[in-house]
Structure 1
Amino acid sequence: MVMKQTMRVLRSIAAGVVLTVLYTSCIKDDGNTVTPTTNNSTNTASTSEERLLKLVNDVRKAGCNCGSDYYPPVGTVSWNKQLEQAALDHSKYMSDKNTLSHTGANNTDPGQRITAAGYSWMTYGENVASGYVDEEAVIKGWLNSPGHCKNIMNGKFVHIGVARSGDYWTQNFAAPK
């Protein structure tokens, strides 16, 4: 009986520590969001994407301290295959060139890549990263970066697509026209 209670307490503490680390790692954003213009295509995500989507939506539902600024809870985002494709193309480009940048092939910016993937956007944001080994690590890294955290907490975004190529990650957010 005592052993069962002890195990329950330990599991509760462990779950609390994981959530605390995730939510307290949020930091303020300096504005990687661009507001210039797509698609309603939202598809089911694979296991990796489901994990990324859950991590992002858990933070969005809870609210987050991004640096010295508090962002209250916002609506969840849904997976979008076109944003995923734009993210994959950019991650492959960064991996091929061994560079971390928001500028892509042929000097394209995120909005151009998202449009080229077939998404007609009203607003978008992009996070890029390199060197993270898994979904939890890259999300924690973005939450610890002011601009990236703000993108994650931007309530205007309703769709997300994330992809990885090698050590390079791209996370796209958008809202359609």
Structure 2
Amino acid sequence: MNILRRLALAVALLIAAISPLRADPQAVQMLNAMRAQQGVAPLSYAPRLEAAARAHALDMARHGYFSHTGRDGSGVGDRVRAQGYRWCYVAENLAKGQGDLTQVMRGWAQSAPHYRNMMSRNATGFGLFQGPDRIWAMVLAAPC
């Protein structure tokens, strides 16, 4: 990896790591509009789920991998639990390369497993994060 690419990635990781967690109103609206079309209840934004999505997206960008399994062998449930969220249902969507929210949501909607996660009647909340290198992570869950 060349020095400029490394520097750009380091700056992006630092900015992402210190940015406050917040709901993206467009993401909330877009996901809940898709759910409403299918007669599924809306999801609420969950900061702890975004924190889990953020941690995984940043780790993948920092260490150059793309997988539902973390470098430490963790799954999405482990990462959500590490954020203090006690879940009874959990799912994760990942994407890489999409430049904006519309593209990533369209891609997930066209993929049966990802769409199934977004439409799950078991989920009550979600968190979404776009990391460096256009790595996207969405975590959907319901507490116990």
Same fold at TM > 0.5? yes
Aligned ranges 1:19-168 → 2 under 5 Å: 45-46=22-23, 49-63=24-38, 73-166=39-132, 167-168=134-135
Deviations 1:73-127 (A, max 9, x none): 1100000000000000000011112222101131110000000011100011100
Cα distance in 1 for partners of 2:112, 2:37 equals 17
Q: Which has the higher Rg, Structure 1 or Structure 2?
A: 1
Letter of the 2:137 counterpart? T
Structure having the higher helix fraction is 2
Identity %: 30
- Asked if 1:170 corresponds to 2:137, the answer is yes
Secondary structure at the residue paired with 1:105? Answer: coil
Secondary structure at the residue paired with 2:91? Answer: strand
4+ runs of 1 displaced by more than 4 Å?
A: none
Cα distance in 2 for partners of 1:100, 1:159 equals 24
Aligned residues: 123
Deviations 1:40-89 (A, max 9, x none): xxxx944xx111111110000001xxxxxxxxx11000000000000000
Cα distance in 1 for partners of 2:33, 2:54 equals 23
Cα distance in 2 for partners of 1:172, 1:132 equals 17
Displacement of 1:164 in angstroms is 1.2
Task: Report which stretch shifted further, 90-99 or 167-176.
Answer: 90-99
Secondary structure at the residue paired with 2:80? Answer: helix
Q: Any stretches of 5+ residues in structure 1 without a counterpart?
A: 1-43, 64-72
Letter of the 2:27 counterpart? L
